Amino acid sequence: MTKRREIAQLGEFGLIAELTKDLPLVNPSSVKGVGDDAAVIGLEGDRCLLLSTDLLMEGIHFDLVYFPLKHLGYKAVVVGISDILAMNGTPRQITVSIGVSAKQSVESLQELYDGVRAACVEYGVDLVGGDTSASVTGLAISVTAVGEVARKGIAYRGGARMNDLICITGDLGSAYLGLHLLEREKRALEGSDNPQPHFEGYNYLLERQLHPHARTDIIEAMREAALVPTSMIDLSDGLASDLLHICKSSSCGARIYLDRLPIARESYSLCEEMNIDPVVAALNGGDDHQLLFTVPLAAREAVMQLGAIDIVGHITPASTGVMLTTPDGSDIPITAPGHK
Amino acid sequence: MTKRREIAQLGEFGLIAELTKDLPLVNPSSVKGVGDDAAVIGLEGDRCLLLSTDLLMEGIHFDLVYFPLKHLGYKAVVVGISDILAMNGTPRQITVSIGVSAKQSVESLQELYDGVRAACVEYGVDLVGGDTSASVTGLAISVTAVGEVARKGIAYRGGARMNDLICITGDLGSAYLGLHLLEREKRALEGSDNPQPHFEGYNYLLERQLHPHARTDIIEAMREAALVPTSMIDLSDGLASDLLHICKSSSCGARIYLDRLPIARESYSLCEEMNIDPVVAALNGGDDHQLLFTVPLAAREAVMQLGAIDIVGHITPASTGVMLTTPDGSDIPITAPGHK
């Protein structure tokens, strides 16, 4: 009998690598397959199409006890769009498929789709298809996003070069802390006769978890400034994990500075209240859907003029590894779940 | 309190119509959105891209007790590709996302992907992406297929015209009967000390359920014959349901003849053994993944020369409805689950 290997032994990214290794691409239009935020399909001339797909499962990605369906629909679209943005593309079309358990009604699905529509309108994306299935268990949502990009404008994960600056479009860990807050209230209210959640002062964190925005504004600003990142990734799994992806794909190392990590005031407050290390939240908290990108040193001024971009470090040789430098000058190797 | 409407009240297709109504398409490249086998994205010149997505849920679409994972992976790709073929397109790329419960091991997922790869190689399709997620419950598989087609070569559901011939690429109901057979054996073997399934004589039916083929051959033959169907649909929900889609989209009626429905010899045998009406299996059995298409009367000879195509009836005015004519000349209105 064959030995059974548990998925946890490989980690999520090891599993994907294992399942998709030795995959030859036979169609000339398949420019880039597995291994980036989106696949790249070559069109005539210098245009390319981007294709990305995400699967959101109840009980893993969301808890319907506190996640309003309308927000969930909106967020599902944002998750898809963010992958297109992370390739420096313009999102154009989306499909949304749902596996629906018997506990959902027509009205609850309408709420979900109200959120999908709201996001489509906000980001100028067309909902062009999907599939509807029953589910014997929880709600499953599959989103496929399609975008457009000039071939020369594509920002792959693998393009970071020595000394490039590492840039982030917003504060880190707030979506993760918003989730912690919701989980805490859920536990507190279980069995309570008079549920009154205590969210005062933390609206920002809730907003970042329940109603994140896709950073189309930054992609447009970079395009206006004729700035093409050397590499880019959607911050969905946390800075540590996503920076490791950039470094692995670009065969480089990185150094980021602890005191430059953007962390919101509300995040510090909640971390103190809940006894969480804010740096751990910033490094490992997922779901931020900000963009992590690199630019050559010479683009520093141009990046500063985009506004509200944090430069948190720079690219180093692969041999020096991926390091977090603390204010006292010590280096801590960056690791992340899913990477083995 | 708002009245709760159950999804069953609307039916699957009513639900989709409800959720996706009033969806304006704002991007010029969105040629066709929701409502056909695939969305159509316009490219430069006369080329279009086709985009289709399917969600397969454990316990709804497959039972892992008798569905080997390798076959499941293969079939998931076939399901996706069939939607591209149904638009008269050439499948090029596919993404496969999986939601995986703890009962799966690395080895079982490798089996699934072995099937995915086998189908990709057979149909010349590139696996270019996907997503991997945990699942608290069963296995979920989401497939997105991308294809290519000339704008003038697209076969929409809505193009059937009066007197067009209704054509089918293979026998009906066999995949559904294969499923019945597997379910029967599952029940018979539950609690058995010495499980010995009784499948003799029914390999064809099992094959059609567990290892269906996508009809790329027919699409290629039609292209060589310069034959463009006026309308086409993938036979996934059963002839009755899919013919109703064609008629609704084309604002027409149809008449099909009971004695022309292609039913395999093995299907008749099993129907007799299991006391199932073979005509009901042919009309309502899903999962065949044959193609249903219409051509003008003048193309009759050309269709006959494609080989192994059954002409089962013709398109009529909308006012006469969608009818099944029995050998004694009586007309039975065709209805189907999901259509209200």
Task: Tell me the per-residue pLDDT of A182-198, one tens digit each, with 9 for 90 and over.
Answer: 999 898 888 777 767 77
CA distance A123 to B13: 27
Instruction: Compute the nearest-CA separation of A309 from chain B (Å).
Output: 29
Q: Are A243 and A290 in contact (CB under 8 A)?
A: no
Q: Mean pLDDT in chain B?
A: 94
Number of Cβ within a 10 Å radius of residue B33: 19
At B44 the pLDDT is 87
Instruction: Compute the nearest-CA separation of A266 from chain B (Å).
Output: 30
Which residues of chain B have a CB within 8 Å of the CB of A63?
Answer: none
Q: State mean pLDDT over B173-182.
A: 96
- Using pLDDT thresholds of 50, 70 and 90, give the confidence band for residue A2: low
Q: Mean pLDDT in chain A?
A: 94
Q: Which of B43, B117, B146 sits opposite A51 (nearest CB)?
A: B146
CB pair distance less than 8 Å for B55 and A138: no
CA A199-A205-A207 angle, 5° bins: 95
Above 80 in pLDDT, residue A151? yes
Number of Cβ within a 10 Å radius of residue A272: 10
CB pair distance less than 8 Å for A53 and B2: no
Above 80 in pLDDT, residue B32? yes
Q: Which two tokens stand for residue A141?
A: 């949502």
Q: Give the bridge partners for A141, in sequence order.
A: A56, A98
At A195 the pLDDT is 67
Instruction: Compute the nearest-CA separation of A27 from chain B (Å).
Output: 7
Residues 6+ apart with CB under 8 A from B32: A128, B39, B40, B156
Which residues of chain B have a CB within 8 Å of the CB of A32?
Answer: 128
Above 80 in pLDDT, residue B1? no
- Using pLDDT thresholds of 50, 70 and 90, give the confidence band for residue B189: confident
Q: Which residue has the tokens 């109603």?
A: A211
B18 at A interface, C-beta within 8 A: yes
CB pair distance less than 8 Å for A33 and B61: no
B264 at A interface, C-beta within 8 A: no
Instruction: Compute the nearest-CA separation of B54 from chain A (Å).
Output: 6
> Using CB atoms and an 8 Å cut-off, which of residues 54-93 of chain A contact chain B?
54-61, 92-93
Alpha carbon A206 to its chain's center: 17
Residues 6+ apart with CB under 8 A from B56: A133, B62, B72, B76, B79, B140, B141, B142, B143
What is residue A296's DSSP assignment? -
CATH of domain A157-333: 3.90.650.10
Which residues of chain B have a CB within 8 Å of the CB of A55?
Answer: 97-99, 131, 133, 140, 142
Residues A306-334: pLDDT tens digits? 988 999 999 999 999 999 999 999 999 99
Q: Which two tokens stand for residue B138?
A: 């069963």
CB pair distance less than 8 Å for A126 and B25: yes
Strand order in B165-168's β-sheet?
A: B231-235, B290-295, B165-168, B310-316, B253-257, B322-325, B331-333
CA distance A251 to B160: 55
CA A113-B284-B268 angle, 5° bins: 155
Residues A3-35: pLDDT tens digits? 788 888 888 888 888 898 888 899 999 999 999
CB pair distance less than 8 Å for A60 and B18: no
At B200 the pLDDT is 85
Q: Which residue has the tokens 């189908």?
A: B119
Residues 6+ apart with CB under 8 A from A337: A11, A12, A241, A284
Q: State mean pLDDT over A69-76.
A: 98
Could you tell me how many CB contacts below 8 A there are between chain A and chain B? Answer: 251
CB pair distance less than 8 Å for A61 and B133: yes
- Using pLDDT thresholds of 50, 70 and 90, give the confidence band for residue B21: confident
- Using pLDDT thresholds of 50, 70 and 90, give the confidence band for residue A303: very high
Q: Give the bridge partners for B93, in sequence order.
A: B126, B146
3-state DSSP assignment of residue A213: coil
CA distance B237 to B262: 16
Q: Are A39 and B140 in contact (CB under 8 A)?
A: no
Chain B nearest-CA residue for A40: B128
Q: State mean pLDDT over B48-65.
A: 96
Which residues of chain A have a CB within 8 Å of the CB of B100?
Answer: 7
Query: Residue B10's closest CA among A292, A117, A122, A107?
Result: A107
> Using CB atoms and an 8 Å cut-off, which of residues 103-122 of chain A contact chain B?
104-107, 109-110, 113, 117, 120
Alpha carbon B90 to its chain's center: 16
Number of Cβ within a 10 Å radius of residue B150: 15
> Using CB atoms and an 8 Å cut-off, which of residues 172-231 of chain A contact chain B?
none
Residues B242-276: pLDDT tens digits? 999 999 999 999 999 999 999 999 999 999 999 99
Query: Residue B39's closest CA among A96, A148, A73, A74?
Result: A96
CA A225-A119-B1 angle, 5° bins: 160
3-state DSSP assignment of residue B258: helix
CB pair distance less than 8 Å for B53 and A109: no
Above 70 in pLDDT, residue A125? yes
What is residue A58's DSSP assignment? B
Residues A33-67: pLDDT tens digits? 999 999 999 998 899 999 999 999 999 999 999 99
- Using pLDDT thresholds of 50, 70 and 90, give the confidence band for residue A257: very high
At A7 the pLDDT is 85
Chain A nearest-CA residue for B126: A25
Locate the domains of chain B by residue range: 7-153, 157-333
- Using pLDDT thresholds of 50, 70 and 90, give the confidence band for residue B295: very high
Q: State mean pLDDT over B297-318.
A: 96
Q: Is B302 left (phi over 0), alpha (psi -120 to 50) or beta?
A: alpha
A43 at B interface, C-beta within 8 A: yes
The CATH class that applies to domain B7-153 reads alpha beta
Instruction: Compute the nearest-CA separation of B30 from chain A (Å).
Output: 7
A322-325 and A331-333 strand pairing: antiparallel
Percent of chain A with pLDDT over 90: 84
At A58 the pLDDT is 95
Residues A206-253: pLDDT tens digits? 999 999 999 999 999 999 999 999 999 999 999 999 999 999 999 999
Residue ranges of E strands in A136-278: 140-150, 165-168, 231-235, 253-257
Residues A262-301: pLDDT tens digits? 999 999 999 999 999 999 999 999 999 999 999 999 999 9
Percent of chain B with pLDDT over 90: 84
CB pair distance less than 8 Å for B106 and A131: no
Alpha carbon A252 to its chain's center: 21
**Residue type (1 letter), A76:** A
Instruction: Compute the nearest-CA separation of B245 from chain A (Å).
Output: 15
At A198 the pLDDT is 77
Q: Which residue has the tokens 């962390």?
A: A263
- Using pLDDT thresholds of 50, 70 and 90, give the confidence band for residue B2: low
Percent of chain B with pLDDT over 70: 99
- Using pLDDT thresholds of 50, 70 and 90, give the confidence band for residue B188: confident
Query: Residue B250's closest CA among B298, B310, B322?
Result: B322
Alpha carbon B195 to its chain's center: 32
Residue A195's Cβ-count burial label (10 Å; 0-12, 13-18, 19+) is exposed
Instruction: Compute the nearest-CA separation of A301 from chain B (Å).
Output: 34
For A245, the enclosing helix (H) or strand (E) is: helix A239-250
